Amino acid sequence: MKKFLTLLCMITCIFGLTACGSGEKLTEYEQQKVDYAQRLASEMIVPMLSQFEKDAYFDEYTPEEVEYMVGNQYNLNVRGYGFTRALSSFASAKEDIGEVTGVGNTTASIDGNEIIVEVEVTGEKKNATAEVVFSNDSFMYLESAALNPSSSMGDLMGVAALNTLIGMGTVFCVLILISAIISCFKFINKAQDNAAKKNAPVQEPSGVDNAVAQIVEQEAAADETDDCELVAVIAAAIAASEGAVTTDGFVVRSIRRRR
């Protein structure tokens, strides 16, 4: 038990040290870059991307040409591909939030080679959060940007209800399919029985059956012989009473009693 408690304490200390390390303060130069990134994102990047109705203006240009045009017009270092993707994201989000009416608070953090800035955006229909990513160097290129509409409680409940309906519908469909398959089993069994009867070999009669059949035939022949003899005797008796002779050669004599 003591060993277990010791191990638990060691694990707790390790996680505590990790948490303390994550709150490490920025250097003065890093803090200057973070502050500049926040001002650049809230005062220039978000308003500039919001004013474009569509990103079709840059569709005809290569990423290198987009970098050159934005650099000359806005004095801003951008990645051409990332800038066009940012225009597409803002144009798509504006269909949900409406026109951007204001920019709110900003937060920023350094993640490796990137400086990530989040800006609160107020729209006509709903609010959103803009995520702007800069390169963590002295040039501070705009790597990418996206405008993500905020989901209200009603939106979350609607999505949850839709997912529930889809799940229940899928379960009912599977149950109906299983019931249909089970109901077909009786037809399958009947088909198998009919096929087995058709393919079953014909059984030949056994020796006992042959013997019984021969005995029955012999008895039938003996009965026919006795019947023929009885008919002949009756015919001879009739012929004798009439004084005629039978064709079978039978002679009927009268029996006389001796005294």
Which CATH number covers residue 107? 3.10.450
- Domain assignment present for residue 16? The answer is no
Token match 């390390």: residue? Answer: 21
Question: What is residue 41's predicted lDDT score, i.e. its pLDDT?
Answer: 93
Domain boundary among 87, 121, 154: 154
Spatial neighbors of 50 by CB under 8 A, at least 6 apart, are 90, 94, 99, 100, 121
47 and 134 housed in the same domain: yes
- Domain assignment present for residue 118? The answer is yes
| Burial degree of 95 (CB within 10 A; 0-12, 13-18, 19+) | exposed
Domain boundary among 137, 154, 171: 154
Domain boundary among 139, 154, 169: 154
134 and 214 housed in the same domain: no
- Domain assignment present for residue 180? The answer is no
DSSP conformation letters of 141-157: -EEEEEEEEPPPHHHHH
- Domain assignment present for residue 258? The answer is yes
Question: What is residue 251's predicted lDDT score, i.e. its pLDDT?
Answer: 57
- Domain assignment present for residue 256? The answer is yes
Rounded Cα distance between 150 and 127, Å, is 6
28 and 102 housed in the same domain: yes
149 and 31 housed in the same domain: yes
39 and 134 housed in the same domain: yes
- Domain assignment present for residue 61? The answer is yes
Number of domains in the chain: 2
pLDDT digits (tens, 9 = 90+) for 139-148: 999 999 999 9
Residue type, position 177, single letter: L
47 and 149 housed in the same domain: yes
pLDDT digits (tens, 9 = 90+) for 43-78: 999 998 888 765 566 778 899 999 999 899 888 999
- Domain assignment present for residue 7? The answer is no
**Structural domain that includes position 235:** 210-259
Q: Which residues of the chain have pLDDT under 70?
A: 1-24, 53-57, 152, 154-156, 200-259
48 and 138 housed in the same domain: yes
Question: What is residue 155's predicted lDDT score, i.e. its pLDDT?
Answer: 67
150 and 224 housed in the same domain: no
140 and 230 housed in the same domain: no
226 and 136 housed in the same domain: no
Question: What is residue 248's predicted lDDT score, i.e. its pLDDT?
Answer: 53
34 and 142 housed in the same domain: yes
140 and 35 housed in the same domain: yes
- Domain assignment present for residue 123? The answer is yes
